[in-house]
Amino acid sequence: MTALSITSLKNKINKRIRVSNYKSDFQEIGSFIKKKRKELNVTQDVISSGICSISYLSKIENNQIIPNRYYVREIMNKLDVEESFYQKTIDEKLYLNSLIKGIFYLDDELVKKTYDEIKDIEHNLVINIAKLGYYIYFHKEDKNQYVMMLENLVSNMDDFELKIYLYLSAAYFISKEKYKTALEVLILGEKILVSNDYLNALISEYSYLAKQRLFRKNSSSEDYLNAQNIYHKHNNTKRVIMLVLWKTRYLAKENPIKALKILDLIKESLMNEYLKAFYSIVKAEILFLLNKYQEATLSLNNIDNKSDFFYQKMILLFSICKIEKDEGMLEEINNVLTSFMPDRFQLKYKVQYHYLLLDKEEDLKEYLRDIAIPYSIKIEDYYGLKQYTLDIMDICINKSRYKEATQFYKKYQREVFRIQKITYE
C-alpha cells in the first residue's frame, strides 16, 4: 500500500504551482467572501449588518471559524452570489473544515459526526478526502485505498483540499512506519500556501515528529515552535501537552535531567486519561535513564492494563527487575509479556523485549545483527538503531573485534546519511 509515487506527486504539485490562476478564487469559504467583498468595494460593517457582528465576519474571512450555513447564505446574498454557484461547494468545504477542527482539537465526537453525515455520499472528491481523514484519525483500515486513488486526482483539487490530502497521506505513511515517505509528502505540503491555522499546526506537528524520528533534529525546531504557537493561540491544551511530552521523550535520550525539568512544569490537572498515561511512561523512562528505578516504578504504577502504554510499561519494569535481579518479578512480568499481543506500533518494543531476554554475548550479537538492527532500519527507528549499533559495537570491542565494530558503525552512518539526503526542493 506504500506504492504512492513521490516523484509523480512532486511533478503534479509543481505543475499546479506553475499555473498561477489555478482555482485561486475558492480555496476556502472565508477567502472567497473576503475576495468578493473587496471586489465590490464594500466594508465589513455593510456586509455584516443585520446578519452577524463585524468581528464574526472578520473571523469567517480569515478562516478562523467554521461559519454557520445561515450566515454564509445571508452574506452571499448581500454579495450578489447565486446560491446555485456556492451551495454545493460550501457544504463540502464545511465538511472538510469540520473534520480538520475535530482532528485539531482531538474531538472524537466531531470527527464521527462529520463522517456520519457524509458516509453515504459516493464519487465525490472532497467527500473522499474527508472519509480518508476519518479512517486515519481512528486508525481504521483504508479499504477503499483513498490514499492511492486520490493521488490521481491531485490536479482536480484546490489548494485547501490538496494540503489536507498531503497531511492525511503523511499520517497514513507514519501509521505504516514509513517516516521518510511521510516527510517527503509533508515537505511537498509546505509549498501549498493555505491560511488555515488548524491545518498548518497539524502539518508542523507531524513534520516535527517525522524529523525527530529520522534524526533531522535541528530542522525540527521551527516545526515544533510553529505548532505550539498555534496550539497556544487556540487554547488547545491537549495538543500543547502532547507535543511537550513528545519533546521530552526525544530530549531524554540526550539530556534526561533537562527533560525531567520540562516534564515537571506540566500540570497533571490539565490532562485526560491518555495524556496522564503518556506522561507517566515518559517520566518513568527519564527516571530509568537517571538510574532512579524506585521512582520510575512508582510512575509506571499509574498506567493500567487497558492503557495504550501498558506493553511499554511492562517492558520497562522488566528492564528494572533485570538490573535489580528480582527473579520473582521477572518471571511474573515475563508471563504477562509472552501472552500479550502488541499492535504494529508496539512491535519495536517487542523486539526490545526479546533482546532483554538474552544474556550470552554471542546470542545478543546474533540477535542485534539479524533482528534488531534490520528491523530498526525497516521501520526507520533511528533512536533504536543508534542504541542497538552501540550495543553490538561494545560486544565486538569486548571480543577485540575492532574491525567488525567499525563496520557496524559505518553501516549506521550510511543509514543516517541516506535520511539526511531528504532536502527541500
CATH code of residue 55: 1.10.260.40
Say whether both 336 and 289 belong to one domain.
Answer: yes
Choose among 260, 301, 302: nearest CA to 283: 260
Whole-angstrom distance, CA of residue 226 vs CA of residue 233: 11
Within 10 angstroms of residue 133's Cβ, the number of other Cβ atoms is 26
Say whether both 229 and 108 belong to one domain.
Answer: yes
Residuewise pLDDT in 10s, the chain (425 residues): 445 667 777 777 776 665 533 333 334 677 788 888 998 999 999 999 999 999 999 988 887 776 777 788 889 888 888 766 666 666 777 888 899 999 999 999 999 999 999 999 888 888 999 999 999 999 888 777 888 888 888 888 888 889 999 999 999 998 888 888 899 899 888 888 888 899 999 999 999 999 998 888 878 899 999 999 999 999 999 999 999 999 999 999 889 999 999 999 998 889 999 999 999 999 999 999 999 999 999 999 999 988 989 999 999 999 999 999 999 999 999 998 888 887 777 888 899 999 999 989 999 999 999 999 999 999 888 889 999 999 999 999 999 999 999 999 999 999 888 777 664 43
Which of 205, 235, 265 is where one domain is finished?
Answer: 235
What one-character-per-residue DSSP string does 80-115 give?
Answer: T--HHHHHHHHHHHHHHHHHHHHHHTT-HHHHHHHH
Residue 42 lies in a domain: yes
Confidence at residue 380, expressed as pLDDT on a 0 to 100 scale: 87
Confidence at residue 387, expressed as pLDDT on a 0 to 100 scale: 92
Confidence at residue 154, expressed as pLDDT on a 0 to 100 scale: 84
How many domains are there within the chain? Answer: 4
Distances (CA, A) of 300 to 255, 304, 346, 356, 395: 21, 9, 17, 19, 31
Can you read off the three cell numbers belonging to residue 297? 516504578
Can you read off the three cell numbers belonging to residue 336? 504477562
Whole-angstrom distance, CA of residue 331 vs CA of residue 32: 65
> Packing angle between helix 83-104 and helix 69-78, nearest 10 degrees?
140
Whole-angstrom distance, CA of residue 107 vs CA of residue 262: 26
Choose among 282, 27, 20: nearest CA to 164: 27
Q: Count Cβ atoms within 10 A of the Cβ of residue 230 and give its class: 0-12 exposed, 13-18 middle, 19 or more buried.
A: buried
Q: Where are the alpha helices (DSSP H) in 234-326?
A: 237-251, 256-263, 273-289, 293-300, 310-323
Confidence at residue 30, expressed as pLDDT on a 0 to 100 scale: 79
Say whether both 401 and 332 belong to one domain.
Answer: no
Say whether both 101 and 215 belong to one domain.
Answer: yes
Confidence at residue 366, expressed as pLDDT on a 0 to 100 scale: 96
Confidence at residue 25, expressed as pLDDT on a 0 to 100 scale: 36
Confidence at residue 66, expressed as pLDDT on a 0 to 100 scale: 66
Cell numbers 549499533 correspond to what residue? Answer: 389
Residue 276 lies in a domain: yes
Which of 43, 59, 81 is where one domain is finished?
Answer: 81
Say whether both 94 and 219 belong to one domain.
Answer: yes
Residue 7 lies in a domain: no
Say whether both 93 and 196 belong to one domain.
Answer: yes
Residue 17 lies in a domain: no
Which of 81, 105, 121 is where one domain is finished?
Answer: 81
Residue 285 lies in a domain: yes
Say whether both 168 and 187 belong to one domain.
Answer: yes
64 is in which domain, residue-wise? 24-81
Whole-angstrom distance, CA of residue 367 vs CA of residue 364: 5
